[in-house]
């Protein structure tokens, strides 16, 4: 199985508001950057979309080290929140509906295809790849805002 390193980040201008995500995928000497955005979304949705989009870009099952500055994303897998949500009918420990279920289900599907190790990194610090993902996400937000204002 190929070993791939992925860094992801999501961002929002207002929460909710225009949002963007960015990811850097690395395999050997190869590096690929991807990004995207939505007109009206939340920061958490963009964090999830970054991971989903990066994993979707992989053409075959891989061993993945996925780095994120999102405690929400990382802890959902490392602390088995996702497993508990599924077992509890997609309810939180407080008996509320799990937010972003649609995206969590997409991510879970990727965990069946790839062997993923989740890693939490400090955001907005000295990690060049995390900082690059933030730049990509903020660039996608700018693109969404430009489209909203009629700029092509």
Catalytic residue among 134, 135, 139, 143: 134
14 tagged catalytic: no
Catalytic residue among 38, 47, 110, 114: 47
With the CA atoms of 132, 133, 136 and 141 taken in that order, what torsion angle do they form, in degrees rounded to the nearest 10? -130
102 tagged catalytic: no
Catalytic residue among 36, 38, 69, 114: 69
65 tagged catalytic: no
Catalytic residue among 63, 79, 105, 124: 124
112 tagged catalytic: no
Catalytic residue among 10, 20, 22, 36: 10
Catalytic residue among 9, 20, 37, 38: 9
Give the whole-angstrom CA distance, residue 25 versus residue 66. Answer: 9
124 tagged catalytic: yes
Active-site amino acid positions: 9-10, 47, 69, 124, 134
């Amino acid at each position: 199985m190929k070993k791939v390193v992925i860094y992801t980040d999501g961002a929002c201008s207002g929460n909710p508001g225009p949002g963007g995500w960015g990811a850097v995928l690395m395999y050997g000497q190869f590096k690929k950057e991807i990004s995207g955005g939505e007109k009206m979304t939340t920061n958490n949705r963009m964090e999830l979309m970054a991971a989903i989009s990066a994993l979707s870009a992989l053409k075959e099952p891989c061993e993945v080290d996925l780095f994120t500055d999102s405690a929400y994303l990382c802890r959902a897998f490392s602390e088995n929140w996702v497993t508990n949500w599924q077992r509890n009918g997609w309810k939180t420990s407080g008996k509320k509906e799990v937010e972003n279920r649609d995206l969590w289900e997409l991510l879970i599907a990727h965990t069946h295809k790839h062997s993923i190790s989740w890693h939490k990194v400090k955001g907005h610090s000295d990690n060049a790849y995390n900082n690059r993902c933030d730049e990509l996400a903020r660039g996608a937000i700018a693109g969404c805002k430009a489209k909203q204002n009629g700029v092509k």
